[in-house]
């Protein structure tokens, strides 16, 4: 009779060898590489268009960049970090963390830097990749870890290119441009602009913030961790796990559940905290009214800042609410005829959030072209799998949870789910796995219905909303996401033997 070990050995011996391509070496790509190695699936290459890991944290180096998810939560659960300096660590520290984790797992030998994947075609049961350098690869599974907020959106403002000073997008910060004593303009009032304004107001000569829409600001202090606290975390990693888990629970109960129920008591508490912040911390009544949003808090992605109101009330700061008419060599001309003269113009105008792995050309089964499949808007079953694109799985794909949560936790849950689909391929239960059209359609319909109860549809413009005004994000609680990610429902997948 065969022993259990022998049975496992036989199963392993007959397992299908799989080659993987991971696209992107940001947070989700690093996670994928580590988890594949952990599973003993070491035949893979990570394709990274830049020359370093880090994704959004490599690209966003603007002054004040930080994560507004607590750092002990915005960490890999398997690589918690006792060294975080603050509750919300600065971006450079987060970048260093990702580099350190990648080094620790010796990922450099798997990563092909400076080579962008331009094309992926599914043919003969495998994916054929072509990169910008002309390199080709053939793999069984593609993991698209290409990020969400990475294609800068430049505003469509007349004369933008005529500006005679220095102008750049917040995600392309030009550190050679001096700011000290100069006249700096910032367009936008999202999380990015708010962080920039607070960080630079103390050094610039004059700061002009061009506000199209006022934002609710949730005040949140950012204490530093003491040496004693860090030493305690180092000495007892169990404390770090506890902290990570309690922050996760706190976030889930406060933010995550609040935003998907516009009538919840939690959202009312958030609204009150934002309103109190405005009423108590902006002294000039005219400025206070200019900063008062006319929609509900958290309808747009909530901006979290301890010191933005202080910053905008500095004597060298000015809030401009008149609409921008055009940009001229000397500065920004607003509709009231005023020319706001500037030396530097920062475009904190956000990102094209529906691009995902595009402009990469992706061709699936029977010639299905992703660009056409996504012509109206990007879709993927549970944000992970696209019908007719077998063995291609997305991390942080379309319509997944992107609210004020840790995207690391989201990606970890998604990866565990993907690995269960990969196991079907490995154990030869299927050669091709992709969501069915029916499963995607049903999911889309349920998602759109659930979205009606969220705070995102209570009357504001935001990057969460698609062209129909439907939030392109997970509209249910985070615990529902966790449940969905626990195990794939196989009836939702087309398994080609
Ligand atoms: P955003 O939230 O999309 O904000 C873009 C801003 O630019 C908005 O205020 C928008 O005005 C304004 N804008 C765009 N086009 C304009 C135009 N033509 N004229 C005038 N104003 C214009 O972008 P973001 O601030 O870069 O943030 C994007 C996301 O990145 C955040 O929501 C968040 O998810 C993430 N982020 C996170 C952190 C963090 O701490 N974790 C920090 C930064 C960013 P309207 O509001 O009127 O559209």
Q: Whose CA is nearest to atom 23 of ligand 1?
A: 350
* Closest-lying ligand 1 atom to the alpha carbon of residue 194: 25
Distance CA 184, CA 169 (A): 13
306 by Cβ neighbours in 10 Å (0-12 / 13-18 / 19+) ranks as middle
Instruction: Give the Å distance between the CA of 77 and the centre of ligand 1.
Output: 29
What pLDDT was estimated at residue 7? Answer: 60
Lowest-confidence range among 249-258, 274-283, 363-372, 379-388? 249-258
pLDDT at 234: 96
The residues near 282 (Cβ < 8 Å, ≥ 6 apart) are 288, 291, 309, 313
Give me the mean pLDDT over the 376-404 stretch: 94
Rounded to whole angstroms, the Cα distance separating 158 from 335 reads: 13
pLDDT digits (tens, 9 = 90+) for 168-212: 999 999 999 999 999 999 999 999 999 999 999 999 999 999 999
Beta strands in 219-377 (DSSP E): 303-304, 317-320, 324-328, 331-334, 339-341, 344-347, 361-363
User: What residues contact 116, with CB distance under 8 A and at least 6 apart?
Assistant: 47, 49, 131, 132, 360
Higher pLDDT, 12 or 226: 226
Domain chopping of the chain, boundaries: 4-151+352-496, 160-221+259-347
Please report the atom of ligand 1 found closest to the CA of residue 212. Answer: 47
Query: Which CATH code, of 3.60.15.10, 3.40.50.970, 3.30.365.10, 3.50.50.60, is assigned to 4-151+352-496?
Result: 3.50.50.60
Helix H or strand E segment including 112:
strand 111-113
Give 14's pLDDT tier (boundaries 50, 70, 90).
confident
Distance 349 CA to ligand 1 centre (A): 5
Q: CA-CA distance, 132 to 116, in Å (whole number)?
A: 5
The rounded Å distance from CA 462 to ligand 1 centre is: 8
Question: What is the model's pLDDT at position 409?
Answer: 95
Give per-residue pLDDT as tens, 67-85. 989 999 999 999 999 999 9
Cα of 8 from ligand 1 centre, angstroms: 52
From CA 405, how far away is CA 409, in angstroms rounded? Answer: 8
**What percent of the chain is modeled with pLDDT above 90?**
92
Q: Sorting pLDDT into bands at 50, 70 and 90, what band is 402?
A: confident
Confidence of residue 13 (pLDDT cuts 50, 70, 90): confident
Report the pocket of ligand 1 as residue ranges, CB < 6 Å: 66-68, 149, 155, 157, 170, 187-193, 195, 212-213, 301, 324, 348-351, 461, 463
Does the pLDDT value for residue 148 go beyond 70? yes
Number of C-beta neighbours around residue 82 at 10 A: 18
Nearest-angstrom CA–CA distance, 171 and 317: 22
**Range with the poorest average pLDDT among 262-271, 282-291, 439-448:** 262-271
Q: What is the CATH number of domain 160-221+259-347?
A: 3.50.50.60
Q: Is the pLDDT of residue 50 over 80?
A: yes
Query: pLDDT at residue 2 above 90?
Result: no
CA of 53 to the centre of ligand 1 (A): 24
H or E, element range at 141:
strand 141-144
- pLDDT the model gives residue 8: 65
Q: Taking all residues of the chain, what is their mean pLDDT, rounded to a whole number?
A: 95
Spatial distance between the Cα atoms of 398 and 302, rounded to a whole number of angstroms: 20
Alpha-carbon dihedral of residues 220, 221, 227, 231, nearest 10 degrees? -20
User: For a pocket test of ligand 1, which of 26, 156, 188 has the largest count of ligand atoms closer than 8 A to its C-beta?
Assistant: 188
Q: What is the pLDDT of residue 252?
A: 86
Amino acid 3: pLDDT: 59
């Amino acid at each position: 009779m065969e022993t259990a070990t022998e049975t496992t050995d036989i199963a392993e011996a007959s397992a299908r060898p799989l080659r993987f391509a991971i696209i992107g070496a940001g947070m989700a790509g690093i996670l994928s590489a580590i988890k594949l190695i952990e599973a003993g699936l070491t035949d893979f290459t990570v394709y990274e268009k830049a020359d370093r890991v880090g994704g959004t944290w490599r690209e966003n180096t603007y002054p004040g960049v930080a994560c507004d998810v607590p750092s002990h939560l915005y960490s890999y659960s398997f690589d918690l970090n006792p060294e975080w300096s603050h509750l919300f660590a600065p971006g450079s520290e987060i970048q260093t963390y990702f580099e350190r984790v990648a080094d620790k797992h010796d990922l450099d030998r798997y990563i092909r830097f400076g080579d962008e994947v331009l094309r992926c075609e599914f043919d003969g049961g495998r994916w054929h990749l072509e990169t910008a350098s002309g390199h080709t690869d053939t793999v069984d599974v593609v993991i698209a870890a290409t990020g969400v907020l990475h294609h800068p959106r430049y505003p469509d403002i007349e004369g933008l290119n005529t500006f005679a000073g220095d102008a750049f997008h917040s995600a392309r910060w030009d550190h050679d441009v001096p700011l000290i004593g100069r006249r700096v303009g910032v367009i936008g009032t999202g999380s990015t602009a708010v962080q920039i304004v607070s960080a630079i107001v103390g050094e610039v000569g004059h700061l002009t913030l061009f506000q199209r829409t006022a934002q609710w600001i949730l005040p949140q202090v950012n204490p530093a961790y003491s040496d004693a606290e860090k030493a305690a975390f180092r000495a007892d990693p169990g404390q770090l796990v506890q902290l990570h888990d309690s922050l996760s629970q706190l976030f889930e109960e406060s933010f995550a559940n609040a935003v998907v129920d516009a009538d919840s008591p939690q959202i009312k508490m958030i609204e009150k905290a934002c309103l109190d912040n405005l009423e108590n911390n902006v002294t000039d009544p005219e400025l206070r009214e200019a900063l008062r949003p006319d929609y509900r808090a958290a309808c747009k992605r909530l901006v979290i800042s301890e010191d933005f109101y202080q910053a905008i009330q500095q004597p060298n700061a000015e809030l401009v609410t008149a609409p921008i008419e055009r940009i001229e060599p000397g500065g920004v001309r607003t509709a009231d005829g005023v020319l706001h003269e500037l030396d530097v113009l920062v475009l904190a105008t956000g990102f094209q959030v529906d691009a995902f792995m595009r402009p990469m050309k992706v061709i699936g089964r029977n010639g299905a072209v992703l660009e056409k499949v996504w012509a109206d808007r990007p879709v993927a079953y549970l944000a992970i799998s696209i019908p007719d694109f077998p063995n291609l799985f997305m991390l942080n794909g379309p319509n997944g949870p992107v609210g004020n949560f840790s995207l690391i936790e989201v990606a970890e849950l998604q990866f565990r789910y993907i690995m269960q689909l990969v196991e079907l391929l490995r154990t030869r239960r299927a050669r091709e796995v992709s969501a069915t059209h029916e499963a995607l359609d049903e999911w889309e319909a349920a998602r759109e219905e659930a979205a009606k109860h969220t705070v995102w549809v209570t009357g504001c413009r935001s990057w969460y909303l698609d062209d129909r005004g439907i939030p392109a994000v997970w509209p249910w609680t985070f615990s529902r996401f966790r449940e969905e990610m626990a195990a794939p429902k196989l009836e939702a997948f087309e398994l080609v033997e």
